[in-house]
Amino acid sequence: MINYMTCKTSGPNIKISFLLFVFTLAMVFKVEAQRDPQYTQYMYNIGSFNPAYVGSVETADISALYRAQWIDIPGAPRTIRFGVNMPMANERNGLGFNVISDQLGPTTQTYVDLAYSFQVNLSESTKLSFGIDGGGSFLNVDFSKGTFENPGEPILDRQLIKKFYPTVGAGMFLYDQDWYLGASVPNFLTDGIYDEDVAMVVDDKLQFNFIGGYVFGLSDGLKFKPAFLVNYIAGAPVTINGSGNFLISDVFTIGASYRSDNAVSGLAGFQVSSGTFIGYSYDYNTNGLGEFNSGSHEVILKFYLGKGGERVKDDSTKSRKGKPKQIDTPRFF
């Protein structure tokens, strides 16, 4: 695998670029290429890494996310995600769509996938959903944007790599009105599909994601929502994300999150209107990288289509088939 040392910089940044990126590369490029970008607000973003989620929502939703990681480090990750979750009228099937652009130094990967889910009723309110997704990744590497540890590598003469490789993922999602559990694999096609050029830049391994959450009603206007996300990649340390958020008057959300051996985060959200939600998080690195950057910022904007106004109410409204209505906002997903 190619070792990137730094992106081109000017001014005072050039003085710290070398040491900074030696440390950064040890953390990022030697982690053997986690396929999924990193999210702090994963509880609002489940459809991006678990296709079984896409049919669990009451009405269709559209989300847009932007993440700027490790501010002040040249070439640090930048992630943009656009996603759609759409339940079908039969309340059993769902469709989803994702476009994710993940940039790191001279490398940009754009993931595009379509998801399908099918769910069965285990009880009156508990459902189990199965999902699959398929698509691909567009890899773009521009070697003119960086200097390198091994400038004599033959691949650097190429200057530009543009490749496409397919992705196939699957997931399961078990949920009720006040809790959920899920597991997913974003991409099964991690071995033997890359040509020589791509293999020098991408070193995917199977990634397993495990998620869960529960909502506790503390009072009429206050709910507490713990959640977790665990990422496992063969040959890499397990990453554990844990969060706790308070929902106030079904409008304001505030809380904190912790990523094992990596960062602590503050989160806040606001239900702008019955169909619009905006969330923000700030990460502070707890490892050695923290002294070299000003943290990471993440913003998510969600639009709930159709019956958006009912998503933030806890009254006994009914679904299309007369059963108790599924309420998404108190579940925090």
Does position 117 have pLDDT exceeding 70, yes or no?
Answer: yes
Q: What is the CATH number of the domain that holds 294?
A: 2.40.160.40
Q: What is the pLDDT of residue 25?
A: 37
Three-state SS for 177?
coil
pLDDT tens digit sequence for 88-110: 999 899 999 999 999 988 889 99
Let me know if residue 321 belongs to a domain: no
Say if residues 119 and 128 touch (Cβ distance below 8 Å): yes
Say if residues 259 and 241 touch (Cβ distance below 8 Å): yes
CA distance 104 to 27: 13
Q: What is the pLDDT of residue 291?
A: 81
Where residue 293 falls among pLDDT bands split at 50, 70, 90? Answer: confident
Let me know if residue 319 belongs to a domain: no
Q: Are strands 93-104 and 263-273 parallel, antiparallel or unpaired?
A: unpaired
Let me know if residue 320 belongs to a domain: no
Let me know if residue 326 belongs to a domain: no
Is pTM beyond 0.75? Reply is yes
Let me know if residue 59 belongs to a domain: yes
Does position 181 have pLDDT exceeding 70, yes or no?
Answer: yes
Note down the domain range covering 269. Answer: 4-312
The number of domains in the chain is: 1
Q: What is the pLDDT of residue 192?
A: 56
Where residue 266 falls among pLDDT bands split at 50, 70, 90? Answer: very high
Q: What's the average model confidence in pLDDT over 31-60?
A: 83
C-alpha gyration radius of the chain: 21
Let me know if residue 325 belongs to a domain: no
